[in-house]
């Protein structure tokens, strides 16, 4: 499982990854829940429901590469299928894609579960 993650950056880079995760989760929540109340439930809301569930995992940093790639694909699908302005979906796809590629950082559940352990006296 450790091979899924490129690194668990600590210090300033880890703080930057935490800020990026929080910013992406906040934007996904805002544009996924607040801006889409007029959509009919059965088909158009399925991607939003999956996205909101994935946001929770992204925020805490659990299964980050898988969740980041999933969110990126959903946002690219939303950018191609929705007729409105696609740029926010493209930005969210890029942010979640970079999180999937870089990793969650040291302040995440993934780092606690799968990070390198130090043994010593």
In a domain, 3, yes or no: no
User: Domain span at residue 14?
Assistant: 8-113
Domain count, the chain: 1
Looking at per-residue confidence, does 12 or 50 come out higher?
12
In a domain, 17, yes or no: yes
Whether 68 contacts 58, CB under 8 Å: yes
pLDDT digits (tens, 9 = 90+) for 77-108: 888 887 678 898 899 999 999 999 988 888 88
Query: Taking Cα atoms as reference points, which of 71, 45, 75, 58 lies closest to residue 109?
Result: 58
The tokens 């870089």 sit on which residue?
Answer: 102
| Whole-structure pTM value | 0.79
In a domain, 2, yes or no: no
d(CA 4, CA 23): 23
């Amino acid at each position: 499982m450790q091979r899924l993650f490129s690194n668990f950056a600590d210090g300033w880079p880890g703080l930057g990854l935490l800020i990026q995760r929080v910013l992406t989760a906040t934007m996904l929540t805002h544009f996924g829940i607040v801006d889409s109340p007029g959509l009919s439930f059965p088909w158009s809301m399925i991607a939003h429901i999956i996205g909101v569930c994935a946001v929770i995992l992204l925020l805490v940093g659990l299964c980050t590469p898988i969740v980041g790639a999933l969110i990126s694909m959903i946002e690219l699908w939303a950018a191609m299928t929705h007729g409105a302005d696609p740029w926010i979906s493209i930005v969210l796809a890029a942010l979640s894609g970079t999180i999937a590629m870089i990793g969650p950082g040291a302040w995440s559940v993934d780092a606690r579960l799968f990070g390198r352990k130090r043994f010593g006296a």
